[in-house]
Chains A and B, each alone.
Chain A
Amino acid sequence: MSLSTAEALTDALREEARRLLAEGTVAVVVGWEAGRFPNQTTPAFISDPEQAQRLVYGDYCVNTLAKYALGEKAAGKVAVCVRGCDSRGINRMIADNQLLRDEVYLLGLPCSGMKDPATGSLLMKCRTCTEHDAVTYDVLLGPATAAGHDGASADSSAGDSEHVSDEQRFTAVLGIEEMAPEKRRALFDAAFNKCIRCYACRKSCPCCTCRECFVDQLRAGWQGKQNNLAENRFYNITRVFHIGDRCIECGECERACPMGLPLMALNRKMVKDLKSLFNADDAGMTEENSAALGRYDLGDLEEFM
């Protein structure tokens, strides 16, 4: 987005946040503030109206904020800045009974894709994003971007990132599917071998909201504490399977992963299969829970006869 757009949106955001806090409509506003390095931002939690000017919005707001709303809701109503990914995360948490819609106040923001502070190029997760603008909000702080989901205004020349087709979205998955099985095994063994099981992928995921994750159920003993290929594979495959039919494709897990695992290729493998096999909806577009593995159809494809 242009500098003037970013400045105008930042001003509108600060003003709205200040008003909501001063009026007592919300207890806390979740947004972004400047980090320690140039072009770096960090999630901000503002509860004092005087502090609202700390908020910023621009090309480097890389964190998807949805998950942060959960941790703040004990304080009262939470205002959350939402773009496409954040809003779908909020919808997902409502569908999963983690949040009520009126526990949050959604500040809709247009988005033309965020940039990697290290390189200045469009973030990987934004290149394959299908919904740039908030799919749900209480107030919209700026006009929809051209690349948004609103088909009428779609104009591929206007935004920094263009509308993403299914083919683009599933490029990585298709590429891996075409490999020979041994190559796929080698690729994922190498990836799982790198995993340090920091669980940042789980922490950042708006679908991973279990009070007690299977990896922490020591007595059940699902997850061994050893860091070896077998345990790492067990963790990674289980994680994907637990969230695969609810994944909103915000790409936060992959962005958060310090070891560079291809987590979105795994997630999107499930998204793609569930879509083609069971006509699954894209997750988080509404507050309804329509997760494909939580239901069935008598006419489902039969391949186990």
Chain B
Amino acid sequence: MPVNEAPTASAATAATAATAATAFEPTILAFCCHWCTYSGADLAGLNRMSYPANVRVLRVPCSGRVNPQFVLTALNKGCDGVLVCGCHPGDCHYVSGNYFARRRLMAFKRLLEFTGLEPERFQVRWISGSEAGKFRDTVIEVCDQIRALGPYRSGVSDDVSLNG
């Protein structure tokens, strides 16, 4: 689990932190809605676009299906960042799923950041079935941001500096 690889803060010197940062490859979970973003990702593949393999695509029927607890669970189970992608507002296959998701995730994102989560670690983006390029660009962007941040430490392991 990437989370276990995090050096304990007490032991980490500037030098080891720098090595860890260059060697670090993040794990990013992307929830993609079946009707839009998943097709967009598929199209990116058909067009032979390349994007970082750090992203794990998890297909959901709708962005409205993404229970905020999924995000917390992903972070606790070793993901360093979570991306939620769905149809543009107005295009939801189920008419209103992404409108509910928009409100819910806006509030949830603020709550997570309030408790100190870096904004880059949880992001939401609307990507349609034809926006293969946007999917690729988003994945590259989020990946770069999280690689720069370093591993997410949830406190799930026996990292004494967190669980103390």
Contact = CB atoms under 8 A, between A and B. Distances in A.
A300 interface: yes
A70 interface: no
A303 interface: yes
Interface of A: 173, 176-177, 181-189, 193, 214, 222, 228-231, 233-234, 237-238, 240-241, 244-245, 266, 269-270, 273-274, 277-278, 292-293, 296-298, 300-305
A300 B99 contact: yes
Interface string B99-110: 110111111101
A21 to B, nearest CB: 44
A277 B69 contact: no
Contacts of B162: 189, 193, 229
A188 B116 contact: yes
B163 A228 contact: yes
Interface of B: 68-69, 72-73, 76, 88-89, 96, 99-100, 102-108, 110-118, 124-126, 154-156, 162-164
A238 B111 CA distance: 10
B73 A292 contact: no
Contacts of B105: 304
B148 to A, nearest CB: 15
Given A241-B111, A296-B103, A233 B154 contact: yes
12 contacts: A181-B113, A184-B114, A185-B116, A189-B162, A228-B155, A229-B155, A229-B163, A237-B72, A241-B107, A273-B107, A304-B124, A305-B125
B114 A176 contact: yes
A33 B117 CA distance: 45
A288 to B, nearest CB: 18
Contacts of A244: 107, 111
A270 B111 contact: yes
A229 to B, nearest CB: 3
A193 B164 contact: yes
Contacts of A186: 116
B4 to A, nearest CB: 12
> Which residue among A187, A266, A296 has the maximum number of chain B CB atoms within 10 Å of its CB?
A296
Contacts of A301: 106
A240 B111 contact: yes
Given A185-B115, A304-B102, A233 B155 contact: yes
Contacts of B96: 296
Contact of A237 (B106, B111, B126): B111
Contact of B68 (A188, A241, A297): A241
Contacts of B89: 298, 302
A238 B73 CA distance: 11
- 10 closest A-B pairs by CB: A185-B116, A229-B155, A230-B156, A296-B99, A184-B116, A230-B154, A188-B115, A304-B124, A230-B155, A230-B76
A234 B116 contact: no
B116 A182 contact: yes
Contact of A269 (B88, B100, B114, B155): B114
Contacts of B108: 241
A32 to B, nearest CB: 34
Given A185-B115, A222-B69, A292 B110 contact: no
Given A189-B162, A241-B111, A300-B99, A233 B72 contact: yes
A241 to B, nearest CB: 6
A50 B118 CA distance: 60
Given A183-B116, A189-B116, A189-B155, 15 more contacts: A181-B113, A181-B116, A185-B116, A186-B116, A228-B156, A234-B69, A244-B107, A270-B107, A296-B96, A298-B89, A298-B99, A304-B106, A304-B124, A304-B126, A305-B126
A270 B114 CA distance: 10
A118 B73 CA distance: 40
Nearest to A189: B162
A79 B54 CA distance: 59
B14 to A, nearest CB: 17
Given A184-B115, A273-B110, A302-B89, A229 B154 contact: yes
Contact of B110 (A193, A228, A269): A269
A233 B115 CA distance: 9
Contacts of A181: 113, 116-118
B153 to A, nearest CB: 9
